[in-house]
Amino acid sequence: MLTNNLKIKLKNIPLGRLGQPQDVASLLAFLASNDADYITGSTFFVDGRLLWNYQQQ
């Protein structure tokens, strides 16, 4: 069961859920693949778009 505090925080995450280890692992697998061989000097946020939609509580 979700606490009220967690429900409020989830409203700020456009994807509506907390991140899971698999979310980060998927990005790492992509970056380690040949499909990412032209990517340099980038920052990737694995946050369900929280930073884009973040509002101070």
DSSP 14-52: TT-S---HHHHHHHHHHHTSGGGTT--S-----STTHHH
* Dist CA 42 CA 19 (whole Å): 20
Q: What is the mean pLDDT of the chain?
A: 87
pTM over 0.75: no
Q: For 22-43, what is the mean pLDDT?
A: 96
* Dist CA 40 CA 36 (whole Å): 9
Rounded to a whole number of angstroms, the distance between the first and last alpha carbons of the chain is 21
CB 36 within 8 A of CB 28: no
Is 60 exceeded by the pLDDT of residue 21? yes
Q: For 17-24, what is the mean pLDDT?
A: 94
Q: In this predicted structure, what is the pLDDT of residue 23?
A: 96
